[in-house]
Structure 1
Amino acid sequence: MQSPPIQMLTICGISELSDPRERSVTHVLSILDPDHPDPEAFEAYERHHRTILRFHDIINPIPGMILPAPEHVEAILRFGDEVGEGQAAEGHLLVHCHMGVSRSTAAMLTLLAQSNPQESEDSLFERLAEIRPQAWPNSLMIGFADELLSRDGRLTAALRRHYGRQLRRMPNYLQVMHDLGRGREVDMAA
């Protein structure tokens, strides 16, 4: 993905896919739970390139659930390469997951880091928060992206600072993330 191949970047959850503004997308990255049906909203969309990944939004192994893995992040990077091939700046990239908070924001941060290798990690997280203010990227996915993009731990360090900012902005995330089994990410912000 060359910088900047697409000027319009959107992150959302499934419930937001019916918004008519999103129907003009040129590229979609869908991240869904393995057993979730394909969202019907895409039937109303204009023609677009779409990649679907299926894994759960977890950071610790849970029996019967699919943990994000390096190959999922590799697939996100391949999608980024596809977006960059011959795409005009008029394009519109949409990344979504169930809520538009964790997997999709981790994927968008990965794509931003891929397409802007010289940009500082903190700047990338600032851009992410501008796109999706409630962003709480999945730490496991960011860790894999950090390694695959040779960021030498800088993405993970910037993620810690991002979590801290998010907890100050949205203190309710403290309990929400603990309830979701994501307390380790809350602890990362400390």
Structure 2
Amino acid sequence: MPLPDHKLIICGIPELPHHAMLGVSHVLSIIDTHEPRPPALDEFYDIDHELIRFDDVVAEYPGYEACAPHHIERLLDFGERAHARAGSHMLIHCHAGISRSQAAAGILMCQHAPGREEESFLRLLELRKHGWPNTRMVEFADQLLKREGALLRGLQAYRVALIAAKPHLRDVIRNIGRGHELPE
């Protein structure tokens, strides 16, 4: 099965105004629990908008709401709606366009392309020049889609390719406390 051919944009909140007039049909917002709805979303017209709130953490920490399976169920429901519309044009954003939105894009590309998980995650390299998808989100999606680790292997292939192209990111990832996610 080929990868879905929907147009896809990944960005952070500061970039939203640049995409408002590009014919986007579906917007997925994944933002922190206490972050206000970005006012720039008011510039998007006639869209299917899904707002999901959880913090960008990869484990349970006091004072933060980590991603849970019900968040990924909502993400997958959004993907079903976008997939059902011919010619859909999705925009996925989180705060910075680096972790949650990258994970969501990879998950949505995998959703209707079983067996193409590695290709789906490697496509992220073309869609956004930098990113480090949220592992917790991918773990839950892998379980919900019953892919037996295929999404996690796709994520690992992406990380290997990204670090090969940009080795300096190893230090950045370590400095943000996610060094355990680095490929060997």
* Same topology, TM > 0.5: yes
Further displaced range: 55-64 or 127-136: 127-136
CA distance in 1, matches of 2:71, 2:141: 10
Label 1:177 to 1:4 Cα distance change in 2 as closer, same or farther (>3 A): closer
Structure 1 unaligned regions, length at least 5: none
Aligned partner of 2:135 in structure 1 is: 139
Partner of 1:60: 59
Which letter maps to 2:48?
A: H
Is the CA contact (8 Å cut-off) linking 2:121 and 2:158 kept in structure 1?
A: yes
RMSD, aligned α-carbons? 1.9
C-alpha distance in 2 between matches for 1:157 and 1:113 = 12
**5+ residue gaps, structure 2:** none
* Aligned partner of 1:88 among 64, 86, 89: 86
Secondary structure in structure 2 of the residue aligned to 1:28: strand
Cα distance in 1 between the residues matched to 2:118 and 2:58: 22
* Corresponding position of 1:7: 6
Per-residue deviation, 1:95: 0.5
Query: CA separation in 2, counterparts of 1:143 and 1:71?
Result: 13
Q: Structure 1's 28 and 129: CA in aligned 2 closer, same or farther, altered over 3 A?
A: same
**Correspondence 1:102 to 2:95:** no
Kindly provide the amino acid, as one letter, of the partner of residue 141 in structure 2. Answer: A
For residue 9 of structure 2, what is the amino acid of its counterpart?
A: T
| Offset at residue 183 of structure 1 (A) | 1.5
Aligned-residue offset at 1:10: 0.6
Q: Is residue 182 of structure 1 aligned with residue 178 of structure 2?
A: yes
Which of the numbers 126, 130, 138 marks the counterpart of 2:126?
130
* 1:48-69 deviation digits (Å, cap 9, x = unpaired): 1100001011112221001111
Match of 2:163 among 163, 167, 177: 167
Alpha-carbon displacement from aligned partner over 1:104-143 (angstroms, at most 9, x marks no partner): 01111111111222x4221111222211231311111111
Q: Which amino acid aligns with 2:138?
A: I
Q: Aligned residues: percent identity?
A: 38
Q: Deviations over 1:60-104 (max 9, x none)?
A: 22210011111111111111112233x121x21000001111100
Aligned to 1:149: 145
Asked if structure 1 preserves the Cα contact closer than 8 Å seen for 2:121 and 2:157, the reply is no
